Chain A
Amino acid sequence: METNKPFLTVENITVRLRDQLFLKNSFWQIRSDQHWAILGPNGSGKSTLVRSLWGGVPLQSGHIVYDFASHQMEPQLIPQKDEIGYVSFELQQSLMEHEAFQEDLREYAGRTEEVTTARDVIFSGILANRTITPVDEERFLKVVDHLGIQYLLQKSIGSLSTGEVRKTLIARALIKSPRLLILDEPFDGLDERSRATLAESINRLMTGPMRVILVVHRLEEIVLNITHVLLVKEGQLFMQGPKDEILTSENISRLYGFNLHLERTNRGFRVSYGSEKSDKIDTSVVYEESLQDVPEVLIEMKDTTVQYDDLIVLDRLNWSMRRGENWAILGTNGSGKSTIVKLILGDNLQGYANQVMLFGKRKGSGEILWEIKRHIGAVSSELQVQHRKKMSAYDVITSGFYDSIGLYRYPTPKQKKIVDGWIELLKIGDISNQPYHQLSYGQKRMILLARAMVKSPPLLIMDEPCHGLDISNRRRILRIIEMIGGTPTQLLYVTNHRDEIPNCITHVMRLHKGKVLSQGRKEDIL
């Protein structure tokens, strides 16, 4: 048994990302009996580091020694793509973009029944290099069984929830039986139960010879069998070593730049915010009382059903949101919560086939979509994906006044002041002048929140707003949301995470497989 031999050694590397150098002169080593977690704030360089391991980002200097593939005298310096499995949000996004383009082509050709299935995606890594062998088929069955995804194999990936796509990509990585598995934020987008079963699967995978690197934002997601931790801060490796040595309240506080308290429980770690003076957030300078009359009932859905052939996504939903109420919708993956958001925003066209009333107007009665959108600010990862055009973050924020993807009109001086005000409030001055598409996932989220709020909307819809944010940004966004809860803007907050529901939420709906389990005042439901 190979214990304690070097597995992979990062020797004095500097990495180049576009035109900047990161992780300068970094040293790191994984030994064959170790599993590592990488932790750090948004944009700190964690994803860049793990991408350099399989050659996704070029090295400016130094080298990476793949000890597990090296022979006697010859160190292996070429990235061993076949031996490394990789799953990340960026990969998921590339996949969805590619699929969107395929759908365009199919639409052009009139072949709208063709789809890319989950099974196609799982085999895609192999098919890029060769044909499928019986060994591959065998591995496929094992992996699918292990992850419990038999039921979605023939479904189109366009119809899967974020969590289901995530599991499909993990299967894709595992099918080549890699020596090293890199999981970049694997838990984001998964509901509590799925997170627990995935953590279990990952722990189990860690008992074999395969090494695992886990990149996480939440300390709570560092699974039991992780042995070592690497902290990354501001483009540099900050600290590395055995888990228990590195994960202390002091080190974590230094990593994120504010007071945090770390607690070890028998289930893992728990983080709580330390005592700290909370700066009061003054929104009067950017917030404009809405001049629109908000009716007593903002949203009403009667017997609303969304269906695709045999698949019922939402089953006779009856719900209304009244003035003064802040709602949270809690549900597992595929429960239908994002569908409700899409019906409200007009992104789901079956709103016209149901009794949906928005701001006093019945959908399909001659109202204009843009008039409805004017009342609503939205933040979601779907919206994040839609912003694929190259533009500055500042322009993305400004486009919020027009509900457009892309900026097609010049803002007035007054509008500019409001944009600047929100930038300051959210403390995103350093990123707002950069090209939007170059920002990290978490940074983009903050830009979209500013975009949603610039028109001081009567309704703010947030679909998993904390998804992908590190602890510092999560705290910031939750405090902003808490603050927004105190303004006339009402909230519709959709999430997997019970513990993320802000205090200002007054009502909760629990959804499961398209049906309402319970709905009502927060105190009664939770």
Chain B
Amino acid sequence: MVMINFGGVEERVVTRGEFSLSKAQEVLRNETVAVLGYGVQGPGQSLNMRDNGTRVIVGQRQNTSSWNKALKDGWVPGLTLFSLEEAAAKGTVIEYLLSDAGQKVFWPTLKPHLTEGKTLFFSHGFAITYRDLTGVIPPKNIDVVMVAPKGSGLSVRRNFLDGSGINSSFAIFQDYTGKAEERALALGIAMGSGYLFLTTFEKEVFSDLVGERGVLMGAIAGIMEAQYDELRRHGHSPSEAFNETVEEFTQSLIKLAAEKGMDWLYANCSTTAQRGALDWKGRFRDAAAPLFSDLYERVADGTEARIVLEKNSQPDYREKLDAELAEMRSSEMWRAGAKVRELRPENWKREA
């Protein structure tokens, strides 16, 4: 166990030095890992584990595009590719990688196959954390663990093939056999993780939901709209407003921040930008702070989760959702954006 210092606070991190691939193979030697759901995380994790010598089978609904993808990826029906239920019966480690809504629906069918000593594995803490809403209440005589790679299924696979890895968080919800942590780490290493960070199911979900409603998607789009509208109100053209709100951010600034940190960006930009950014950063933070407080509360008390589950089960949800998305897509800002993207000089279609 290694403690790594993050900004003055020590966190527990597991490295490959501590838990090697051969150790992982040893731990998983007699296990059959059943990956339920060949959607997003499913392919990345299962393909990596297979290449790392783990015995893996895939469970997937037939006659879907995911089933066809599994065939193309070398999974053989009856040998390594099964229906969801059959895979659950055959597996000793069940990777429950269906969508949040899918996990709730399939749970009653899955539960009887979670026999004593098996491992129930998640890559997201939603179903367990909000179990009063989802109904996913695991039997007491199994291990329940999580490894959540910090990236899409695609980057999990791609980084593995490149020979690097992807960092992941891990958590233990229930340790019946006494081997839960060992198994979780073995699975994490087998699927191509680099560093593994300790967390809890609850913390993983709360930070995830806050993130997507906050900075990662909700807040950022909201702030962009606010700035764009203000610039337009004062007569700036759509392209100019878009460039100063989105394009320069995505095409240049955020990439520098990704490489060196926002603090580096602040220290190395023009003095005009620097002075202004420093002065206004605090004001924006303070204006947003109450919103983040509200947001966290609503995530923690289950309100946000309830909204997601309720809305998704309404019959006309698809229609209403499409209307919301269409509104965003046909907004002046994002249509202006499409045009700006088209005119980027490096657009390959503009070659002769």
Contacts and interface: CB of A to CB of B under 8 A. Distances in A.
Interface string A362-392: 0010111100000000000000000000000
B164 A408 contact: yes
A352 B21 CA distance: 21
B26 to A, nearest CB: 12
A95 B162 contact: no
Contacts of A403: 163
Interface in B315-352: 342, 347-352
A128 B51 contact: no
Interface in B7-26: 21, 25
A56 B352 contact: yes
B45 to A, nearest CB: 14
A353 B74 contact: yes
B351 A350 contact: no
Given A107-B153, A368-B52, A402-B163, A91 B351 contact: yes
Interface in A56-104: 56, 81, 84-86, 91, 94-95, 97-98, 104
Interface in B24-63: 25, 39-40, 47, 50-55
Nearest to B76: A353
B72 interface: yes
A404 B163 contact: yes
A435 interface: no
Interface string B246-290: 000000000000000000000000000000000000000000000
A245 interface: no
Interface string B177-219: 0000000000000000000000000000000000000000000
B40 A86 contact: no
Contact of A368 (B51, B65, B342): B51
A403 B161 CA distance: 9
Contacts of A349: 47, 72-74
A308 B152 CA distance: 25
A421 interface: no
B322 to A, nearest CB: 14
B154 A107 contact: yes
B47 A94 contact: no
Nearest to A405: B162
Contacts of B176: none
Nearest to B346: A94
A352 B352 contact: no
A112 interface: yes
B75 interface: yes
Interface in B104-145: none
B150 interface: no
Contacts of B227: none
A306 to B, nearest CB: 9
A100 to B, nearest CB: 10
B167 to A, nearest CB: 13
A108 B278 CA distance: 36
B349 A352 contact: no
B303 interface: no
Contacts of B73: 349-350
B312 interface: no
B352 A353 contact: no
Contacts of B236: none
Interface in A475-499: none
Interface of B: 21, 25, 39-40, 47, 50-55, 65, 68-69, 72-76, 80, 152-154, 161-164, 342, 347-352
27 contacts: A86-B352, A91-B348, A91-B351, A94-B351, A97-B348, A108-B154, A110-B39, A125-B349, A127-B349, A128-B342, A173-B352, A182-B352, A308-B72, A346-B51, A352-B50, A352-B74, A352-B75, A352-B76, A352-B80, A353-B74, A366-B54, A369-B51, A399-B163, A405-B163, A406-B163, A406-B164, A408-B163
Given A402-B163, A404-B162, A406-B162, 19 more contacts: A56-B351, A84-B352, A94-B348, A107-B152, A107-B153, A112-B69, A125-B349, A182-B352, A348-B74, A349-B72, A350-B73, A350-B74, A352-B80, A368-B52, A368-B53, A369-B52, A404-B163, A405-B163, A406-B163
